[in-house]
Amino acid sequence: MSGAGFLVDLHRCVGCGSCVLACRIENGRTEEPVWRRVVPLNLRRHPGGPTYFLSVACHHCDEPACLRGCPSRAYERRADGIIVHHEDCCLGCRYCEMTCPFGAPKYDEQRGVVSKCHLCADRLDQGLAPACVTACPTEALQFQRPGVAAGGDARAGVPGFVDPAGCRPNIRFTPPRGERRVVLFAAIEEAIRR
């Protein structure tokens, strides 16, 4: 992990969606498609796997497929690694929607352009955390500074989240803790490795 990004503690995240609402408010996305979503895994609580939630938006990848796939150079990488999208350059061709394996770029039918999470770059420039991070009531969602490796048990991939296109996304996950969930988690990770 080299650029700025997110760290999600899967033990602390309760999947409440506060991050999603905070993103809507901060970015004025009242009725437009929202940039962040929470993916619940195993709400049915199948005994073969743990139940947890993935709060995800744009991962500001080191090898961003959106940027590579954009014919109009609407995407730009900042020095801190944040991938910003310039709406005024956007053709609305939606290629980035197709190339991004994580579904981060969202097409706005009304305005005919794409947009996505910019990691609250304006807030970061003022020394504030991204709005989603500030809103997280359990402090599960954290901002990762560029060039700082996520410590502890953080990892790049977890069951339910893989990097299928070699984008090297800047997101890390701390797995759920507690005996039951660790065992289940390890079993799934092992199955994926095989």
Strand runs labelled E in the chain: 5-9, 37-41, 52-56, 75-77, 83-85, 106-108, 113-115, 141-144, 171-174
Which residue lies nearer to another protein by CB, 87 or 139? 139
Dist. CA 194–CA 191, nearest whole Å: 5
The count of C-alpha atoms lying within 13 angstroms of the C-alpha of 92, restricted to the half-sphere facing its C-beta, is: 7
Structure tokens at 29: 């996305």
Return the residues of window 118-137 that contact another protein according to CB under 8 A.
131, 134-137
73: helix, coil or strand?
coil
Which residue lies nearer to another protein by CB, 78 or 181? 181
Among 88, 109, 179, 190, binds another protein (CB under 8 A): 179
Site string for another protein, 13-52 (x = CB under 8 A): -xxxxx-xxx-xxx-x-xx--x---x----xxxxx--xxx
Structure tokens at 13: 């995240």
Site string for another protein, 67-106 (x = CB under 8 A): ----------------------------------------
Q: Where on the chain is the footprint of another protein (CB under 8 A)?
A: 11-12, 14-18, 20-22, 24-26, 28, 30-31, 34, 38, 43-47, 50-52, 131, 134-139, 176-179, 181
